Amino acid sequence: MIDEKQLIGELKNEATKQTAFRSMVGLYKERLYWHVRKIVLDHEDTDDILQNTFIKVWRNIDSFRAESGLYTWLYRIATNESLTFLNQKKKKTFGGTDEELNDYLVENLQADLYFNGDEVQLKLQEAIARLPEKQRLVFNMRYYDDIKYQDMEKILETSEGALKASYHHAVKKISDFLKNQG
């Protein structure tokens, strides 16, 4: 296993930066991909966001002070990139309304070649897409990725209590949505 401190040291060293960067991408690309994918749902958009995330890391690694773990930092950048992407799309295409954006994301998912879920999973994704931003993030990170609340606290910069409450509300809303859909 690669030592994180050593990896950060190599990333900050011009002589070893490129090799260390490649190792870091190999280590985190899949986890970050799935994290982003669950937020934006579309594969092509996820690919763009993931590349932008790593490009930001490449450019700003010197300013990384290692107060939080590398993994936390990467998750935070990926989350911010994903939310920025959705907000820009909302403003440019849907005049700033959440509902139209959510409808578009779900419709897009139905036509997505890289969505292999059944009808129940599609309904679940629709329910998740209709959640408020924070609840959607917390639900995905907890439900799919099993990320601990302590880690989530650092990534989303929110208290553990607030995160637990967000997850609880998200589960309730999803259950209600699915019941109503029958």
Residue whose CB is less far from other proteins, 67 or 119: 119
* Among 13, 30, 107, 159, interactor with other proteins by CB under 8 A: 30
123 binds other proteins per the rule CB under 8 A: yes
Q: Nearest distance from residue 145's CB to other proteins, in Å?
A: 9
Q: DSSP letters along 19-63, please?
A: HHHHHHHHHHHHHHHHHHHHHH--HHHHHHHHHHHHHHHHHHGGG
Rule CB under 8 A: say whether 29 interacts with other proteins: yes
The residue among 133, 136, 137, 107 whose CA lies nearest residue 122 is 107
Binding of other proteins by 9 (CB under 8 A): no
**Contact between 60 and other proteins (CB under 8 A)?**
no
State how far the Cα of 62 lies from the Cα of 11, in Å rounded to an integer. Answer: 8
Residue 122 is a binding residue for other proteins (CB under 8 A): yes
User: Which of these, 16, 22, 18, 133, lies nearest to 82 by C-alpha position?
Assistant: 133
Stretch that binds other proteins, among 61-69, 80-88, 114-122, 153-161 (CB under 8 A): 114-122
Q: Are 104 and 94 in contact (CB under 8 A)?
A: yes
Closest by Cα among 168, 133, 164, 128 to 149: 164
Asked if 58 touches other proteins (CB under 8 A), the answer is yes
Q: Which residues contribute to the site for other proteins (CB under 8 A)?
A: 22, 25-26, 29-30, 33-34, 37-38, 41, 43, 47, 50-51, 54-55, 58, 114-118, 120-125, 143-144, 171, 174-175, 178-179
